[in-house]
Amino acid sequence: MPSYDDDVPTQEEENLLKQLRENQEEQQRFRVITEVKNLVIGSKRCKTAFYRVGTIEILCNLLQEFSSIDTNSNDLLIEIIDCISSFAKSSNKKIVDRLMELGCIQQLFRLLSSRTDSIQLCESSLRCLRSFFLPKLSSTMFSKVDYTNPFLTPISFVLLCDQHTQKPPSLTTQTPKLVQLPSFEHYSPIEILFEIPQSLDVLLHLISVSKCAQLSIVEILCCLCVNNERQKQLVDKDFIPVIFRLLLQNISEKQQQQQNSKLCSINLTNEYIIGVCLKFLCSLCHENASIAQQLHDTISSETNQTLCEVVSSLLSKIHRPVVISYYASKFFVNLCKTKVLDADHPSVAIESLSTLIHLCTKSILNKCVYLHIECLDTLIYLLNGNSILHKNATYTEQLLNKLFTYIFTPSKVLDEQIDELLLVQIRSSALTLLAVLSSYDEEIKKRIADEENLIVTAIECYRMPHVSLQLAALRLFHGLSRSVHQLRTTFNDTICDILLDAIKSSDLDIVKISSCVISNIVLEFSTCRTRLLNGGILSILLALLTHTDHDLCINSIWALRNLSYLSTLKIKQDIINGITVDRIYSLLERCTDEQFLICLLSLLRNFFDEKDTNALLILFNEEKLLSTLQRLREKTHPEEIQRELITLIDHLNSNNNSSEQRLSSDSVGSSCRTSLFADYTCDEMDQLDCS
């Protein structure tokens, strides 16, 4: 069969489109547009074929023409808008771009400002607008939505999957802080909306039109929270009190509905509005401390309840649809990650944490595999950097056992067949969450490492052709590597070979994660050290010192520092020869990167331990070194650097180079990055103890 990409309209379809171009009386026009709409909806082929012959241009012209006519053409307008809406849902970027080029979004806003007489027209326009903003998921994902399951939100959840920039970093290899704006010629719908004068005022005004309108508007608002600037613009327009009021109103209606036993059928619109309001609040305060604080301090003028109290009340049980419970939890997660709430606050440590764990471990509660993955990712986001929650999370075996199931037999997550790509996602997220849990507490680390077949499975995952799985496996190794006991027991030759392979990968993220692991397993007592040295790790690390990626440079100098600790003279000499004395001096004089400088100074400190000081000082010229360090001391460096300098200078000056004068390598300070993931420093995590 021919590929529909190359299709043009059939003869019948061409005849129909010809009628569309003709200027006819309204009733005839209505019939034709309806027929075009019925062909386009649900058909990728028709969308592409009709686009190729200029149907979109005709529709946009008709939209403009009939928007400005005073006569009652609402029904015809609704047909035109529903047709355009279908095109806007296309996964064909050219179609959506063309619609934007033709000014469709602007036209819809003009219509929404001027024609407020018809609720149906308003709802249709808002649905069309929403179609531009929602992520275009693959058809495979769309076809998997279970419409027979009342515990599942239907389209709303799938379409409200977080924008790429809002996802926790576990699933994105590089999380951009700002939306990558497309090229100058192609605006994103978000940029277009913010350029339209008073667009937000229009949305604000329409929020009271109907429940359907509320859903569409708040869903659009969720999509607008792409960066701190946009979040602020929404807050400046006073959306917080409006959405809070909407939230309270729908919670109240929901409670009344539940109390009214005479009802013959239950409508879930209130619940979906609650869910989407919560999602908006989550999106608004994501990675935005000032807005998070503002939300924390928000009080309802009608009920005197704080927003936190209201959201907390939604966590008293698992709701249907379960996205209410999910987004209520995520709200407190976001407040915690912005430091507005402490990690041990009950709303975080007890309510949100337990809700998220329930949602991703009990398939009887949550039958949506996407939500399982979202919960895992949110747990990763919460627990990474909040080690005091790790014990809570693993208090019962519930979470750990489920994570092992996800990794070993992911198809048993739900009693249904799951797409292969989703299985990969589940495994990646589960492995990454295990990595986070294994990164701090020794008992948890041991529990995880001792799980039968886990390490073997992690090795298999690294060997699979999916980058997300490879990264997740490496992260698990990183988490486990932060333990003296694990370095002596778990890390075998196979893992060494994997790391030697990964550090040479063409994928930067894989190189970075593997360098994090290597920086720990090169330590003196590690079983992997010799194999790594024989595998040429020294030359690899030296080469990475000049890499353009800053994190990789830091990891490399950190690894060299650890390699030099309690090392033989030969290794120290090899490191010095590899970097070169001149370059070391140059870095000392000119380096402005504080993290790098700390690592370099502690590297020098490791060189000049008791037994090798005299042998290595000859290479450096003691006088020159001391004067360079002294000059460095006179600059206004932070305390950690000053401390390192003092220690080093004293050490070089002193005749009694006793070990008590040396600070342990890892008590230097938390500014040296030890966190699991590139983008998050983790102040609470203790550094590896080498004293």
Partner 1 sequence: MHAHFAQPIQAAAAAAVAAAMAVSNTSSTSSTSEAHVSTPVHHTATKAEWMEAIEQQRLERSTLNRLIINYLVTEGFKEAAEKFAEEAGISLNNVDLTSLDERLRIREAIESGRIQDAINLINTKAPELLDQNRQLAFHLKQQHLIELIRSNLIDDALTYAQIHLAEFAEEEIKMRQELEKTMALLVFDKPLESPYGYLMQISHRQQVANEINSALLIYQNDESESDLSMLVRMATYMQDKLDQKQLRYPKLIDIAGGKLEDS
Q: Which is nearer to partner 1, 124 or 595 (CB)?
A: 124
Shortest Å distance, C-beta 135 to partner 1: 12
Q: What track of x and - describes contact with partner 1 for positions 37 through 66 (by CB under 8 A)?
A: xx--xxxxx---------------------
Residues in the interface with partner 1 (CB under 8 A) total 43
User: How long, in residues, is the chain?
Assistant: 691
Q: Considering only residues 264, 623, 656, 659, which one is a binding residue for partner 1 as defined by CB under 8 A?
A: 264
Binding segment for partner 1 (CB under 8 A), chosen from 123-131, 301-309, 329-337, 453-461, is 123-131
Using the structure block, give the residue that is written with the tokens 């030296």: 542
Are 588 and 598 in contact by the 8 Å Cβ rule? The answer is no
Task: Name the residue nearer to partner 1 (CB basis): 264 or 618.
Answer: 264
Out of 55, 67, 107, 124, the only residue in the binding site for partner 1 (CB under 8 A) is 124
- Of the two residues 149 and 664, which places its CB atom closer to partner 1 in the complex? 149
24 vs 140, beta carbon nearer partner 1: 140
Q: Which two tokens stand for residue 573?
A: 């000499």
Long-range contacts of residues 540-547, Cβ cutoff 8 Å, at least 24 apart: 540/503, 540/504, 541/515, 542/575, 542/578, 542/579, 544/503, 544/511, 544/515, 545/579
Among 67, 85, 199, 483, binds partner 1 (CB under 8 A): 85
Measured distance CA(481)–CA(483) in Å, rounded: 5
| Beta carbon of residue 272, minimum distance to partner 1 (angstroms, whole number) | 6
Does residue 266 belong to the site contacting partner 1 (CB under 8 A)? yes
| Region from 36-44, 236-244, 457-465, 647-655 binding partner 1, contact rule CB under 8 A | 36-44
SS3 state at 198:
coil
DSSP H or E stretch at residue 318: none
Does residue 10 interact with partner 1 by CB under 8 A? yes
Tell whether residue 252 is a contact of partner 1 (CB under 8 A): no
Residues 6 or more apart whose CB falls under 8 angstroms from that of 558 comprise 519, 599, 672, 673
- Asked if 82 interacts with partner 1 (CB under 8 A), we say yes
267 near partner 1, rule: CB under 8 A: yes
Give the integer Cα–Cα distance in Å for 440 and 386. Answer: 10
Question: Is residue 127 close enough to count as binding partner 1 by CB under 8 A?
Answer: yes
- Kindly state the smallest distance separating residue 270's Cβ from partner 1, in Å: 9
Which CB sits closer to partner 1, 405 or 671? Answer: 405
Minimum gap (Å) between residue 153 Cβ and partner 1: 9
CA 98 remoteness from chain centre: 30
Name the one range near partner 1 by CB under 8 A: 1-9, 296-304, 374-382, 517-525: 1-9
- Stretch of 79-87, 424-432, 540-548, 549-557 contacting partner 1, by CB under 8 A: 79-87
Residue 452's CB is within 10 A of a number of other CB atoms, namely: 9
Residues 399 and 376 sit within 8 Å (Cβ to Cβ):
no
For residues 148-167, which are near partner 1 according to CB under 8 A?
A: 148-150, 154-155, 158-159
- Buried-exposed string 547-573: b where 16+ CB fall within 10 A, e elsewhere: bebebbbbbbbbbbbbbbbebeeebbb
Nearest 5°: phi and psi at 118? -110, 120
Question: For residue 416, which of 230, 146, 64, 48 has the smallest C-alpha distance?
Answer: 146
Give min distance, CB of 42 to partner 1, in A: 3
- CA distance readout (Å), 260 to 265, 269, 272, 316: 11, 16, 19, 21
* 622's tokens: 């003691």
Residues ≥6 apart with Cβ < 8 Å to 508: 549, 552
When the beta carbons of 132 and 272 are compared against partner 1, the nearer one is: 272
- 323 lies in the site for partner 1, by CB under 8 A: no
Q: Which is nearer to partner 1, 155 or 464 (CB)?
A: 155
Could you tell me the smallest distance in angstroms from the CB atom of residue 12 to partner 1? 9
What x/- string results for residues 389 through 428 when contact with partner 1 is judged by CB under 8 A?
Answer: ----------------------------------------
Please say whether the beta carbons of 20 and 33 come within 8 A.
yes
Build a one-symbol-per-residue string for 130-149: x at contacts with partner 1 by CB under 8 A, - elsewhere.
-x-------xx-xx-x-xxx
Distance CA 147, CA 151 (A): 10
Contact residues for partner 1, defined by CB under 8 A = 1-4, 10, 34, 37-38, 41-45, 82, 85-86, 89, 124, 127, 131, 139-140, 142-143, 145, 147-150, 154-155, 158-159, 261-269, 272
